[in-house]
Structure 1
Amino acid sequence: MNPSERIILQAVESGDVTIYRELFSRYSKSLFYYACKFISEDEARDVVQEVFMALWQQRIDLNITTSLNSYLFGVTRNKCLKVIRQKAKNEQNELSIMEVEYFQDDDNSINSIIEQELSDTYKVALDKLPPKCLEVFLMSRNEELKNKEIAAQLNISEKAVEKHISKALKHLRTELKEYLPIFCYLSQFI
């Protein structure tokens, strides 16, 4: 757990409602989208509410050893599994139980599922960029080169570099718009 998460949890533990509301605001959408992979939207809303109620009610006794992100997604996953098991008793829905249990086997599966989906969509979006635009964008992001360095290597103007990067970012925003809430959330941990 990083130092900022420790401070947040200490504030919640001491009963700071403002920080608790900020946590809810920051995590609830991502947890909801994750829960919707396993259960209905109505059930997912209930699960997210339960996760945050439990966090508040157990705040004094919390002993989180992983990141806050992993903890919240893990609790959400477990509550989804509980919902599915309850439904399975009524509907004999073994396939859904096996699916959630499969994802439960790996502590990093929560992040890897979301990250894999984002990564695949991101790669498809990148493949749609014109070759020069893609080259400039990747030099900027992957190689972390400054615009001046890219311009020198590709023998183009800095203004052209800026235009290519702007075009790529605009394209990615359009292509990834439905993933934007999750992507923004995850990017704060990268």
Structure 2
Amino acid sequence: MSETLLSSLQRGSHQAMEQIYQVYWADIFDAALKKTGDEAIAQDITQEIFISLWENCKTINLSGTLGAYLYGAVKYKVINYFRSGSIKEQHQTALTALMDEQHTAAADDKLILRELHLEVDAAIALLPEKMQMVFTMSRKQEKSMKEIAAELDVSVQTVKNQISAALKLLKKSLSYILLMAVLIGLT
């Protein structure tokens, strides 16, 4: 999903920029707030990141995910803010405390988790309509196979087959996520 958004953004799509802003704003703001401890500064940093993204959208070349790129931008903007010399020593002490591994890892994990949810939702949306409906009823609405079969007027075996086929397709289309999780240490 983030790849198609980035492609649209690179073509100058205002809608893509709005969607990126809607999806990532809260997480980017939270990450900046955790690092600065000041809402006004965090808002300024968040705003600067999205302005910079829009101004440089045609030249951005990502090696990772859009979320990782934005989170990296937070880190560098915060560091530049604290280096600017316009802050007091107490802010530098706060930065040291806020930039420790636990805070960084928690913010990273939150962004990565959101990205993974978006990828899974996108993969589910690509399933055939009937299979998508059965899978959603089973996994998201937590209905039993009997309930699904009764509601859709099909056999329980058909429901089992649809769920099994959906899981196979999702496993195949999302196999790279497991590799990413292993590489970044989520598992």
Q: TM-score if structure 2 supplies the norm length?
A: 0.52
On the 8 A contact 1:5/1:67 being kept in 2, the answer is yes
1:127-185 CA-partner distances (Å, limit 9, x unpaired)? xxxxxxxxxxxxx98xxx97469xxxxxxxxxxxxxxxxxxxxxxxxxxxxxxxxxxxx
Give distance in 1, aligned partners of 2:90 and 2:111: 28
Asked if residue 35 in structure 1 is aligned to residue 32 in structure 2, the reply is yes
On the 8 A contact 1:32/1:44 being kept in 2, the answer is yes
| Greater alpha carbon shift after TM alignment, 95-104 vs 66-75 | 95-104
On the 8 A contact 2:35/2:99 being kept in 1, the answer is no
Give distance in 2, aligned partners of 1:112 and 1:26: 15
Q: Which residue of 2 aligns with 1:86?
A: 84
Q: Which residue of 1 aligns with 2:59?
A: 61
Show the 5 A alignment for 1:161-180. Answer: none
| Length, aligned pairs only | 120
1:15-38 CA-partner distances (Å, limit 9, x unpaired)? 001110111111111111221112
Q: Paired residue for 2:23, among 8, 22, 26?
A: 26
| One-letter amino acid of the structure 1 residue matched with residue 108 of structure 2 | N
| SS of alignment partner, residue 84 of structure 2 | helix
Give distance in 2, aligned partners of 1:146 and 1:85: 54
Q: TM-score if structure 1 supplies the norm length?
A: 0.51
Identity %: 23
Distance change in 2, residues 1:72/1:94 (3 Å): same
Deviation at 1:7, TM superposition (A): 1.2
Deviation at 1:46, TM superposition (A): 0.7
Give distance in 1, aligned partners of 2:143 and 2:84: 55
On the 8 A contact 2:27/2:111 being kept in 1, the answer is no
| SS of alignment partner, residue 34 of structure 2 | coil
Distance change in 2, residues 1:114/1:54 (3 Å): closer
On the 8 A contact 1:35/1:80 being kept in 2, the answer is yes
Structure 2's unaligned 5+ residue stretches are: 113-137, 147-187
Distance change in 2, residues 1:96/1:112 (3 Å): same
Give distance in 2, aligned partners of 1:59 and 1:113: 24
| SS of alignment partner, residue 61 of structure 1 | coil
RMSD: 3.4
Deviation at 1:58, TM superposition (A): 0.9
Q: Which residue of 2 aligns with 1:7?
A: 4
Structure 1's unaligned 5+ residue stretches are: 116-139, 150-190
Give distance in 1, aligned partners of 2:31 and 2:82: 14
Show the 5 A alignment for 1:95-174. Answer: 95-99=93-97, 101-103=99-101, 110-112=107-109, 147=144
Give distance in 1, aligned partners of 2:5 and 2:22: 13
Q: Which residue of 2 aligns with 1:176?
A: none
Asked if residue 50 in structure 1 is aligned to residue 38 in structure 2, the reply is no
| SS of alignment partner, residue 83 of structure 1 | helix
